[in-house]
Structure 1
Amino acid sequence: MQFQIDFIGAKGRFFSKYLDRIVTFRFMAPANYWDTSYTFPVLLMNDGQDFTAMKLEKTFSEAYASKAVRPFVYIGLECNESRIHEYGTASTADFKGRGGRALEYSKFVIEEFIPFLKKEFKVSTDKKDWVYCGMSLGGLSAFDIAYRNSNLFSKIGVFSGSFWWRKKAYVKKDVADRSRILLDVIKDGNAAPHLKFWLQTGTDDEKADRNQNGVIDSIDDTLDVIKELRARGYSYPGAIVYEEVLRGKHDLPTWANIFPKFVLWAFGKSLMTPAQGGLPRSSK
């Protein structure tokens, strides 16, 4: 009986000394993973427990079958009840003390897990082949880790990122609003010219508009991140791709629907040309 394997999938567990716990991860690769000497590019993702809800098996299977996409492996890191403490920015917790273990999570990813992957799996050791992504708070974490460790990554993907993460409570009429931690991570960090960014929001991500400028906070915060990146020399359009999804929500179905486009951007064999010609609106 003849049969065809569409992909290889597995789940594993890794004990982290930094986190003092077992981290579950999911692995998915093209069907020829075992039969080739090829080392694969990597899509590393936070919140890997959302693999099924985001229909990523279908997305990746279709990508593997596409001639427009380079073969790659997916590795999703699952979180647990400590998510609000382990995700965030490694430089500091937010003003409520959330993200207090983000530094340990960063060390786990950089010093423990990636070396493990490079030793045990057929993955590329070239930074140009590594992409790190995440959704919401997991997106903030992925951005922070990859930006600060640009020697290991080339692309960063963030879906409805929690860029509101701040070191002090918002004060009304604070026009500069520099308390958002990621802005200083970008400003004070080493801007690596090779980095590229995919940033996505939805017009229905939320309803909050703290500065009453007619733009919801999630979009405002993302546009300000883009402004900060541009100030460091990153081009838009170009190094930065921004996808604003009409009626998109802060939920798994929205991210699932846009994910195939992200995969094509991340691993497409030819460069995608962003549809946008400029920022869709002014942020402050």
Structure 2
Amino acid sequence: MQFESEFIGLKGNLYSKYLGRKVTFRLVAPPHYKDSETPFPVLLMNDGQDFVNLELEKTLPSAFSSKTGKPFVYVGIEANNNRIQEYGTASSPDFKGRGARAKNYSKFLIEEFIPFLRAEFKVSKDAQDWVYCGMSLGGLSAFDIVYNNAQYFGKVGVFSGSFWWRNKAYAVNDVEDRSRIVLDIVKKGSYNPHLKFWFQCGTEDETADRNNNGIIDSIDDTTDVIKELQEKGYSFPGDITYVELDGGKHNLKTWAKVFPKFTNWAFGTN
């Protein structure tokens, strides 16, 4: 009887001194992982608990077998009930105190989790081969960590990112709206020419339009981040890719639909 495996998977946990808890993760690798003498690129993802609902059991094997892409290892980091505190921006919480442990989460990832993965698995030590992604608040977290730790990553993907995250409440008629924390993170950060960015929004992510310009906030916030990155020196299109899904919503079904396009961007050879 001939047996064919679509992928190799495991689920485990790692104790983090920075978070003071065990962090559960899922690793999924191509079928030839055990026989390979070449280390694999890595896709890290926040909110790894959404693995099934993102349909990754179907998307990842398809990506692994793609003739136009490089095989990679997927690692999903699961969030717990402290998600609203561990995700966010490491530089500061938002004006309501949310994200107070984002700095700890960043230290966990950079100082504990990445060294662990490099020591225990066949993964590349080349930063260009590491991609980090997330959805909503997890997307904001991934962007913040990559942008401020570019020596560890080559690309970042953000699905419907929570770029509204701000250090003070929105003020009506505040045209520049610089209270959105991520804008100053980009402005004050370093330019790293090797970094590549992928953003996705859906036209039905939300209905809110705080500045009444006819564009929903999710799209406004994302395009403003793109403009800030352009000011920094990143090209759009080029270094920056933006995907706007007509009818796309702020949910797992939408993100699952666009995920194959993202993996092709992240690991495609064409």
TM range, normalised to the smaller chain?
over 0.9
- CA distance in 1 between counterparts of 2:188 and 2:62 reads 40
> Equivalent residue of 1:114, what SS?
helix
Tell me the equivalent position of 1:157: 157
Deviations 1:150-180 (A, max 9, x none): 0000100000000000000000000010000
- CA distance in 2 between counterparts of 1:134 and 1:6 reads 24
In the alignment, does 2:13 pair up with 1:13? Answer: yes
Tell me the equivalent position of 2:208: 208
- CA distance in 2 between counterparts of 1:15 and 1:97 reads 25
Q: CA deviation at 1:69?
A: 1.0
Q: Which amino acid aligns with 2:45?
A: M
Q: Which amino acid aligns with 2:23?
A: V
In the alignment, does 2:85 pair up with 1:81? Answer: no
In the alignment, does 2:240 pair up with 1:240? Answer: yes
The aligned runs of 1:156-175 (5 Å cut-off) are 156-175=156-175
Deviations 1:66-88 (A, max 9, x none): 11110100000000000000000
Tell me the equivalent position of 1:63: 63
In the alignment, does 2:186 pair up with 1:186? Answer: yes
The aligned runs of 1:248-263 (5 Å cut-off) are 248-263=248-263
- CA distance in 1 between counterparts of 2:246 and 2:5 reads 37
> Equivalent residue of 1:23, what SS?
strand
Q: CA deviation at 1:2?
A: 2.0
Q: Which amino acid aligns with 2:133?
A: C
- CA distance in 1 between counterparts of 2:153 and 2:36 reads 24
Q: CA deviation at 1:11?
A: 0.4
The aligned runs of 1:101-116 (5 Å cut-off) are 101-116=101-116
**Which ranges of structure 1 fall in alignment gaps of 5 or more residues?**
271-284
Tell me the equivalent position of 1:275: none
> Equivalent residue of 2:152, what SS?
coil
Q: Which amino acid aligns with 2:53?
A: A
Tell me the equivalent position of 2:230: 230
- CA distance in 2 between counterparts of 1:57 and 1:6 reads 9
Q: Which amino acid aligns with 1:37?
A: E
Q: Which amino acid aligns with 1:120?
A: E
Deviations 1:17-50 (A, max 9, x none): 0000000000000001001111000000000000
Q: Which amino acid aligns with 2:140?
A: L
Report the TM-score when normalising by structure 1. Answer: 0.95
Q: CA deviation at 1:232?
A: 0.3
- CA distance in 2 between counterparts of 1:62 and 1:2 reads 20
Contact 2:137 2:162 in 1 (8 A): yes
**Which ranges of structure 2 fall in alignment gaps of 5 or more residues?**
none
Q: Which amino acid aligns with 2:139?
A: G
In the alignment, does 2:119 pair up with 1:99? Answer: no
- CA distance in 2 between counterparts of 1:11 and 1:215 reads 41
Aligned residues: 270
> Equivalent residue of 1:35, what SS?
coil
Percent identity over paired residues: 66
In the alignment, does 2:90 pair up with 1:90? Answer: yes
Tell me the equivalent position of 1:3: 3
- CA distance in 2 between counterparts of 1:32 and 1:165 reads 41
Tell me the equivalent position of 1:282: none
> Equivalent residue of 1:111, what SS?
helix
Report the TM-score when normalising by structure 2. Answer: 0.99
Deviations 1:176-210 (A, max 9, x none): 10000000110001110110000000000000000
- CA distance in 2 between counterparts of 1:29 and 1:234 reads 32
- CA distance in 2 between counterparts of 1:67 and 1:211 reads 45
> Equivalent residue of 1:34, what SS?
coil
Contact 2:86 2:102 in 1 (8 A): yes
Deviations 1:118-165 (A, max 9, x none): 000000000010000000000000000011000000100000000000
- CA distance in 1 between counterparts of 2:7 and 2:142 reads 26
- CA distance in 2 between counterparts of 1:4 and 1:258 reads 27
